[in-house]
Structure 1
Amino acid sequence: MAMNHARTLKTTITGKKAIGLVFQRTFAAGGGKAKKGSKGGAAGDAPKASILSKEVKSTTVVGANILKEGADPKILADSEYPDWLGHLLDKRPPLSELRRKNIETLPYEDLKRFVKLDNRARIKENNSVKAKN
């Protein structure tokens, strides 16, 4: 049914009028007023106050529970976690910094990272050369 209306508009309206109709913005019925409980609108854009207290937020990992039943896990003391967990966020040197260092004096982890990043860089370079040809 919409196609029939579009065809009649297409045949009867030409030129500048058609451009105006194509780019005309329309709104839903109701005068643009947002109803209470409706989707969208300015009333729903405001951030909602959290119903969780600060004490609960500071003692539990909110949203970490993936099961239907159960509770969010509690935050433990730092001594309860393994040592390697604290090192996950440590910054590792980029390839350019590793290339400047002497390869023979690098620790094993940095040497392994250098080999991996160097191989990745060579593969990218070879792929870009092949793509140009």
Structure 2
Amino acid sequence: MTMGYTVSLKNIISKKVVQLVSCRTFAAGGGKAKKGSKGGATGVGPKASTLSKEVKSTTTVGANILKDGVDPKLLPDSEYPDWLWHLLDKRPALSELRRKNVETLPYEVLKRFVKLDNRARIKENNSVRAKN
């Protein structure tokens, strides 16, 4: 009887040890990072820019893609094409386009409507086929 109790106690203890060892643990992040260590941010905040305000206002900082090149200078607004100023304008969604009269839409908007409508129709057909 004592032998059976000892064997079952060993099995229980070994199962608990395996559970403890196989448990995933994570390091505590409470301590300070060493100076010069890899990883986490050790500074208080972002570093101040060393560029003067004059340089910031006349050049596009960080737009240079060439190794030996320089950042391009900013031009007056009149030097840029008109379409550039409309790139971030909101365009109407498909539901709004469906509510409008198709015959009165400009060509570019009509083209976008056809594209969005075809895309929605294809998605609907695909979902119907997937259910069957």
1:77 is aligned with what amino acid?
P
The answer for the alignment partner of 1:23 in structure 2 is: 24
Structure-2 separation of matches of 1:19 and 1:56? 61
Q: 1:121 to 1:41 in 2, by over 3 A?
A: closer
| CA 1:46–1:39: 2 relative to 1, 3 Å | farther
- C-alpha deviation, 1:47, in angstroms: 2.3
Give the count of matched residue pairs. 117
Q: Where does residue 95 of structure 2 map in the other structure?
A: 96
Q: What is the RMSD computed on CA atoms of the aligned residues?
A: 2.2
Pair 1:57–1:17, CA change in 2 (3 A): farther
1:14 equivalent to 2:14? Answer: yes
Whether 2:36 is the aligned partner of 1:37: answer yes
2:16 is aligned with what amino acid?
K
1:65 equivalent in structure 2:
64
Task: Sort the Cα spacing of 1:54 and 1:77 in 2 relative to 1 into closer, same or farther, 3 A.
Answer: same
- Give the equivalent residue in structure 1 for 2:10: none
Q: Which amino acid aligns with 1:78?
A: D
Alignment partner of 2:120: what SS? Answer: helix
> Structure 1 residues 42, 92: closer, same or farther in 2, change over 3 A?
closer
Residues 119-128 or 56-65, more deviating: 56-65
Shift of 1:54: 2.8
Deviation at 1:90, TM superposition (A): 1.5
Asked if 1:107 is matched to 2:106, the reply is yes
List gaps (5 residues or longer) in structure 2: 1-12
CA shift in 2, pair 1:98/1:24, >3 Å: closer
Q: How far apart, in 2, do the equivalents of 1:94 and 1:118 lie?
A: 10
SS of equivalent residue, structure 1 residue 129: helix
Q: What displacement does 1:42 show? A: 4.7
**Runs of 4+ residues deviating >6 angstroms:** none
State the 1:60 CA deviation: 1.4
Alignment partners' CA distance in 2, 1:54 and 1:66: 22
Alpha-carbon distance between aligned partners in 2 of 1:93 and 1:105, rounded to the nearest angstrom: 15
Change (3 A) 1:116 1:24: closer
